[in-house]
Structure 1
Amino acid sequence: MIRFDHIALAADTLEAGADLVRARLGVKIGPGGAHPLMGTHNLLGATGPDSFLEVIAADPGAPPARPRWFGLDRPETLTHGPRPFLVAATDDLDAALAAAARAGFDLGRPEALRRGELHWRFAVTANGAPAEDGAAPLLIEWPAGPHPAGRMADAGLRCAGVTLRTPRPERLRALMAALGAANLFAIAEGAAGVVATFTGPGGAGGTLEPMMEALP
């Protein structure tokens, strides 16, 4: 029911996120755009024909009418610096959310979003915070047709693996089973968060994961 779509690296500013991508993965991420409804803006880089890496931050010039997604309005989200989240795609967002709800999980409600000619649907919780303290995937539904990654600059990174880390692994396994993706991602016990490993040309690549202490 769901599949890997992209890793979103939430940061205080786009510059902070881009700096971490350069430091950890050895590449410069490309341009992006703004999301007026959510009061955010981003940088984007393709990691294949149907996946990408995103840096996302609050847009200081665009206060939103609702809590920002990725928990960007919540101080605890970025206490220790930029933090990666997993975004998974589905062809039927309503059905995926209903399946999660039947299993006892609130992954949010669908929001219709647009950036220029690009449009999509995304599940956002009432307070904007990702479910399961950020260990659960956030869900997106793209319209039929070519994936938007095909329009993005490609620095050669490829996602080699994603681990969902949580202090309650059995609970997260139940959610993934409800979403029809019991074996899609590794699940490990630990502090809640997402660990994403990338490979790239010329030695580029590395790991994005939640930091346990603030950047110096």
Structure 2
Amino acid sequence: MSMKYFISGTDTAIGKTLIGVALLHAARSAGHSAIGAKPIAAGCDLIDGIWQNEDAAALRAASSLELSYEQVNPIALKSFMAPHIAAEREGVKINAVDLCRKINALPDAEITFIEGAGGWLVPLNDKETMADIATGLQVGVILVVGLRLGCINHALLSAAAIKQSGLKLAGWVANSIEPAMDVKDGNIAAIEKRLQAPLLGTIPYLNPADPEAAAALLDIEPLL
């Protein structure tokens, strides 16, 4: 058994890394080897002579196999901004085919979770978007829905774009990103009714973020 999933989100800063690390914890707790990767990360600090991103480092730390930082995050951009803009400023070339090759070269694990940057159609360059990495890998997609006003539209638009790309929406996670949200349950129910994919879990607002607590609320059975 060897499975790969691409983690996308309805926006940036909606908890993709929290859910990615939680999925790694859940998979490992269920007895599966699991690794995480973040092909592109924007917003890095120089640590031990290597530009490193906090989210990519969290995925690496939660993986069950030993991985170098560069394996987890091949493109680490210094500036916290849209990846294609940061790459242009820093003279870095982003190519979806090359990134897919690097992801496919990762050590074999039963489950690999690949976290995108931002949402589904975030540009990589003048021609490619984040979707080209997922389609190049031909993997199922897990959509993290940040629960706030407008999330129904964001979720349905993202799901439609994923379907148009020819990939399967393997599941979605409802992640609370605000301390209080009016009719949160109603929003979740509306999305669940319209998405043809299993709801893997509903995560309450966690401050600070707690991937292990989130993992306990996830049902990964539909992914296995």
| TM-score of the superposed pair, with normalisation by structure 1 | 0.31
Q: Which one has the bigger strand percentage?
A: 1
Q: Which one has the bigger helix percentage?
A: 2
